[in-house]
Each structure stands twice: as C-alpha cells, then as structure tokens.
Structure 1
Amino acid sequence: MSVGPEASGPTWPVPPKGGWTADDLDRLPNLPPHTELIDGSLVFLSPQTIFHSRAVSFFERRLEDSAPAGLEVLREFTIDIDQRNRLEPDVVVVPSAEILDPGQTRVPADTVLLAIEVVSPDSEARDREAKPLKYTKAGIRHYWRVENDKGRPVVYVFELEPATRTYTPTGIFHDDLKVSVPFTIELDLTAITARRSVPETP
C-alpha cells in the first residue's frame, strides 16, 4: 500500500465557530510574530521594510526621551479592543501603572494615550481605515499615522473628538513635528531616513 507524501509547509489553525478571541492569541501555538486579531480573524504581518523598521525605532526612542515620568513607551505590543479585536500598534504610550508583570502580553486599549501606525504596502487599508475606527471605539485619544512619501516620512496626527467619537485631523508634518498633546513632543523627522556615516578605515 502506498503512502502519499506528507503535506509540507505551515499548517494554520482552524478557527472555531464565531472566530478567535483575544485570549486565544496567548494560547495558539506557532503563530508568526506580531499576529493581530481583527474581527475574530488572525492577520499575519508581512516582513518589514527598512523605512518601517527605522521609523518604528525612531518613534520608540524619541518618545522615550520626551515622555514624562509615569508613562511607558512600548514597541509592537498588543492592546485589547474587545474579545474579537486585539491589535498591535507599532508604538503605544501607556501609563506605567498598566505594566503589572514582566510576563504581560497586552494592555487594555482604553488605557492607551497614543497609538502610532507606520504604514506598509500590505497594511494601507488597515492603518487608514479599519484600525482608526477600532481605536476610536476603544477611546484612544491620540492616533498618528506615518506614511512613506517617496522615502520621506509624513506624519498625520489625529485627536479623538469626544462628542462624535471620531478622529479629527490636527496636523500633517513633514520635516519637523511639534505637538503639545498627549505631552510636549518636538521631533526632527528627517532623522528617520538620514544615512548614518560610515567610519573611515584606518
């Protein structure tokens, strides 16, 4: 009796009836890094571009330098919107009091002061449409969307309008970013794509 060849490649988990929940992300084995949950479906992220990696590192470092005491800056950390939505902004700012345990894997979205998404080719619709809607639903007051405009960063800044529960654009920044909320931040955005000098060989 012949035996057929075994299937090669990854095998993805079969979703339960009604879709996955936020708690499932901590239990499912062998998920790719940075898997998100949107409307009960798993979303796997594509490999990062150099622009994306540099931008995320830039905002993480600069916000850590600017944030007042009592705030924590987290890179690529998941937040709970509800049981069917667990998203992973590229950078978030949360009160330090929300970091309860070194083994913690997520924070409640309603504690997030600022969420930043750096747009990639595969994430345009999510970062421009789907995620902002969910962030407003969760009450996240400040949202920044970072776009790659022919190699130069453009930052779109939004603030939650409480009466309508929608984001209102408060600025578009190209070379320099200066805002007073959620705290005073001044950034030289040209540093994101500035080439590092190569040391001369002796």
Structure 2
Amino acid sequence: MTATPPEWLCPPRASGWEADDLDHIPNLPRHTELIDGALIFRVRPQRLWHARVIRRLAAALEDRAPAGRTVEAQMTVRLSTKSRPEPDVVAARVAYEPDRTCFLPEEVDLVVEVVSDESQERDRETKPFKYARAGIRYFWRVEEEHGLPVVHTYELDDTTRTYVATGIHRERVKAAVPYDLDIDLARLLR
C-alpha cells in the first residue's frame, strides 16, 4: 500500500510555490512561510519565551497604535509573487479586516522578528533583506540576552534600500516611529 503524499510536498509548477498558493493548499502546517518559492515549516515547537515575547510585544504595540492601524502576531506579508514570510509581529496602516490572510508591504509600518534557534539565519539575514527590498520602513529584531529581550531597531535607507541600525534597547524601547512608543522590555516576560 502506497501512501499519497500531502499536496504541499510537490509544488504545482517548476518555479515553485507562489504567494497566493498559501491560501489554497489543503492541510498546510500552521505558520508555513514562503521564501523564494519554497515552503518553510517550523521544525520545533516554539519555546514559551519566544511565544510570550511575541504576544506581549504585539499587545504593547497595539496599545499605542493610532486609530485605523492594526497590530497582529504571526500574519504573513506578501512581499512578491515568490515570497510571503510570516514576521512574528506586524504593525500595519489598515483597519481590522476579519477575512484578511496577509498584508502588503505598502500597508506595513513595522515588522518584528523574535530570533529563535531554528530561524537565526532567516531572522538576521534573509528576511531583513527582503523586507528592505520590499520597502518596509521599520524593522525590529529581538534577541535573547541573559533571558531578557533586547530589541535592535532599524530604519530603511531609501537610497540603498537596506536597513540602517537606529539603536539597541535593553531595558526600554522609546521611539517616535512608526508611532510614539515606550515599552518596558522586562514587562514582556512578567
């Protein structure tokens, strides 16, 4: 008896999967990303530290978001036909739409990646490069340092289409962009 492989094992075209395919592939594992036409799956269960930082950082950003904005955890951003990564947190200039499955780069103010062991290279190199090329203005990378979150903030340089570091925040993130923020980082873990 031969088992039928899941549909997501074989792309429908030689060039790989496309961004819109993510909305139609049956039984696709949760938190699947598309990068350069390849499906990326979470390999290990998420650590509680990672989940808590994502959830509480999203809540802190949402508390300060101006009217007509939304902050979501783990929603994909359609960067191109071949790339639809899933940032850990997205702050976007759109109102809540219950049937939405992704954001477009021109709607996004900020993307946040909380680095984990399995995603270090993607979170530090691949995704920031792609976010910058797509024109997303602000990027934050959250690292774990002695059990606490450290936020590395970046802003897009329009000339080079790359991110420029704007700060490393160990106790608080105080920023005027993408909107007025003051976040006590230790509270993300309480």
TM-score (norm 1): 0.88
Aligned to 1:95: 93
Aligned to 2:20: 23
Aligned to 2:37: 40
Q: Distance in 2 between matches of 1:51 and 1:152?
A: 9
CA positional deviation for 1:10: 6.4
Q: Distance in 1 between matches of 2:73 and 2:139?
A: 15
Give structure 2 stretches of 5+ with no counterpart: none
Aligned to 2:49: 51
The AA in structure 2 aligned to 1:69 is A
1:73 to 62, 65, 71: 71
The AA in structure 1 aligned to 2:117 is P
CA positional deviation for 1:7: 4.7
Q: Distance in 2 between matches of 1:163 and 1:23?
A: 30
Asked whether the equivalents of residues 151 and 193 of structure 1 are also in contact (C-alpha less than 8 Å), the reply is no
Residues 28-177 of structure 1: pairs in structure 2 closer than 5 A: 28-46=25-43, 47-97=45-95, 99=96, 101-177=97-173
Count of equivalent residues: 188
Q: Deviations over 1:43-88 (max 9, x none)?
A: 0013211111110011111111111112111111111000000011
The AA in structure 1 aligned to 2:66 is P
Percent of pairs with identical residues = 46
What secondary structure sits across from 1:73 in the alignment? strand
CA positional deviation for 1:110: 2.2
What secondary structure sits across from 1:145 in the alignment? strand
Q: Distance in 2 between matches of 1:164 and 1:49?
A: 36
What secondary structure sits across from 1:82 in the alignment? coil
Asked whether the equivalents of residues 8 and 25 of structure 2 are also in contact (C-alpha less than 8 Å), the reply is no
**Bigger Rg, structure 1 or 2:** 1
1:184 to 156, 180, 183: 180
What secondary structure sits across from 1:190 in the alignment? helix
CA positional deviation for 1:96: 2.2
Asked whether the equivalents of residues 37 and 85 of structure 1 are also in contact (C-alpha less than 8 Å), the reply is yes
Report the aligned-residue RMSD: 1.7
